[in-house]
Structure 1
């Protein structure tokens, strides 16, 4: 048995939304409080006055239960499940562990506008997290209707789950035990080499080409609309700040504040809409690749962080979701028993001739057609995909 995460949109009632916001608010507060609590501790650690760089999540949880929640003005913390509070603190501890492993910088505070906090709901009773075709039973909240019927396997076991909010929508994520023995046997077939790029999103060695979704009419229309809404929001915020500074009338301030909130929601919805379009396109490309049932798939190790330093191309690179593509491809390869290979980032897939193996050192980025002295002439990306397919040195990811 293997655990697999399922995330889908839910439609909670107004009363359920209040409870969800309460858990999210307390979780955000405790996470930020834990980060602030450890700031001075970390500074003393750098000065050599402390043995450890941060206070453990368990110790801070005891402080919250025994001291902070009993102080005047903080009684509302107890209105949320102790397990949900502890999970928020342990998430902060995980961020500090990443810091001391050298994998991340000092943890940042969670902001309400970014909506990046998840509400944790543990299983308290036997009937919690019961899954049906059209609804799911969430602890302390009750039955909540699912927007997508049948996506989460009905009748399976789920020990816990989280609820998140994004641009006025609510999502539930649960871990389900999936039987790996249900995999279908497949006939061995040839592998696939995949070359990722900016002009076209992906070119497969078998000839399939997938366009750049960011160049489509719909995405450009949404980006133009987002730009107008951001400009409008910026102007409203400046006017609101000016009113607060000058001590404007309360009624006027309240009116301006509500208009700012409405504009913020419009911006969030546009961001979410664009993110959904891009992610769904990447998923569709991965699904089409896996459905061909290859023996292996070869990709290149792209230095996305280094590529993002180019300020002329950073926006275009971020919109391609290369990291999401490799992550979903890896998960699908594990699920379908496909070997995923990754060649070194310095492998000259674009400069090698896929026919004779000669290396063209003077190949420039503007050269979209690869021409070799042996007579081989083909699209640059198709040639790179064929070279990835034939690569002899690689690391196996799955």
Structure 2
């Protein structure tokens, strides 16, 4: 059995909206208070506060008269936020993430409920301290009873519930098809079969609408209700762009996984690529990281194989016919002729063919296939 989250949108009643607002506020208050306590303990007394000590601090905090409002909401989300904070500190000390940041009320709000704080009965979900079920728009049935439920509100004012359930993934029939994928900006990606998937450029499509909303926001008085409304309009445009991007990526990744037994991709360091100021916005809009991540878990569910080659492998500069590697291939050069075998190459198709060959070699040899050393973004693409 595998765990999977099923996300749905729901529409709270006015009473539920008030309860959720109090819950989000209390979760944010506890998270920030404990984070401040742990930070001060380290810098002032050189003490490392673990989860047990943080939990004891929360217990003492709830007994003070100034924060009696914490008892108005379920204690489970408050406890869960400490567990999430402990995970954030673990990731920080192991070098995977930055130091945990304080939560802001202007960003996404969330609260996690375990089985003791919700009831799922006859297709209805009841949260703790809530008499009525959530008005969820069930787009599909849950495969099992949820183990945890996460309620969230995004910056655009929309409410979502994510149900973590156990499910049995369905293995797809074996197919002989294999594909190499070269990610790009002009085309979202090009396959080793020569198929090109265009880049819809969602941000550019909504650029005029977003600029208009941002201009209106800049003219509103700080702290006013009109400014809050204008900020939400900007957030709705950003949410629309994000939804369009994720919808397309999910459909494309599902199609690739359904059609191919082996999928070969590049191990791109997207965060490092975003340091390039001239390409950062286009790379973010393309969603390379999300696309590869979707291919990875969907391939695992379907019994497919995903092979990731070394990021420094010269897929674009290597001739797929004879293997000759040219010294330099600037990004603006989209077609080139091999000086050894005189074969004309389309840059992207040639790269996809090389990625497929290298990915299959990784599967066959059980090791990574490296290139000819570290190269820059412009020459490696």
The equivalent of 1:128 in structure 2 is: 119
CA shift in 2, pair 1:188/1:306, >3 Å: same
Residues of 2 paired with 1:396 and 1:275: CA distance?
36
Counterpart secondary structure, 1:220:
helix
Q: Does 2:185 correspond to 1:198?
A: yes
Measured after TM superposition, the shift of residue 221 of structure 1 is 4.1
CA distance in 2, matches of 1:369, 1:231: 42
Q: Is the 8 A contact 1:131 1:137 kept in 2?
A: no
**Residues in 2 aligned to 1:396 and 1:230: alpha-carbon distance in whole angstroms:** 49
Which residue, out of 214, 221, 231, partners 1:230? 214
Residues 244-299 of structure 1, C-alpha deviations (whole Å, 9 max, x = no match): xxxxxxxxxxxx7111111111011111111111111111110111121x221110
The number of aligned residues is 361
User: 1:107 is paired with a residue of what secondary structure?
Assistant: coil
Matching of residue 161 in structure 1 with residue 149 in structure 2:
yes
CA distance in 2, matches of 1:396, 1:129: 46
Find the counterpart in structure 2 of residue 8 from structure 1: 8
Cα root mean square deviation, aligned: 2.1
Q: Hey, what's the Cα distance between the residues in 1 that align with 2:55 and 2:350?
A: 57
User: Structure 2 length normalisation: TM-score?
Assistant: 0.89
Superposition pairs for residues 48-59 of structure 1, below 5 Å? 49-50=45-46, 52-53=47-48, 55-59=49-53
Please list, as runs of the form range in 1=range in 2, the aligned pairs for 1:222-261 lying within 5 A after superposition.
222-237=206-221, 240=222, 257-261=224-228
2-side partners of 1:327 and 1:172: how far apart?
22
* Residue in structure 2 matched with residue 291 of structure 1 by the alignment: 258
For residues 86 and 371 of structure 1, the distance between their equivalents in structure 2, rounded to whole angstroms, comes to 62
* Residues in 1 aligned to 2:196 and 2:129: alpha-carbon distance in whole angstroms: 48
Structure 1 residue 80 corresponds to structure 2 residue 73: yes
3-state SS of paired residue (2:336): strand
Match of 1:389 in 2: 356
Map of 1:1-398 to 2, 5 A cutoff?
Answer: 1-44=1-44, 49-50=45-46, 52-53=47-48, 55-65=49-59, 67-115=60-108, 117-124=109-116, 128-130=119-121, 132=123, 135-141=124-130, 142-149=132-139, 151-153=140-142, 156-166=144-154, 167-180=156-169, 182-184=170-172, 186-214=173-201, 219-237=203-221, 240=222, 257-292=224-259, 294-373=260-339, 374-391=341-358, 392-393=361-362
Q: Distance in 2 between matches of 1:389 and 1:328?
A: 19
Shift of 1:396: 8.2
Distance in 1 between the 2:122 and 2:199 partners?
38
Structure 2 gaps of 5+ residues are 369-381
Query: For the structure 1 residues 221 and 201, does the alpha-carbon distance in structure 2 shift closer, same or farther, using more than 3 Å as the test?
Result: closer
Q: What residue ranges of structure 1 are gaps of 5+ in the alignment?
A: 241-255
Q: Is the 8 A contact 2:77 2:112 kept in 1?
A: yes
Q: Is this contact kept in 2: 1:131–1:153, CA < 8 A?
A: no
Distance 1:189 1:13 in 2: 52
Contact 1:194 1:204 in 2 (8 A): yes
Partner of 2:350, secondary structure, is helix
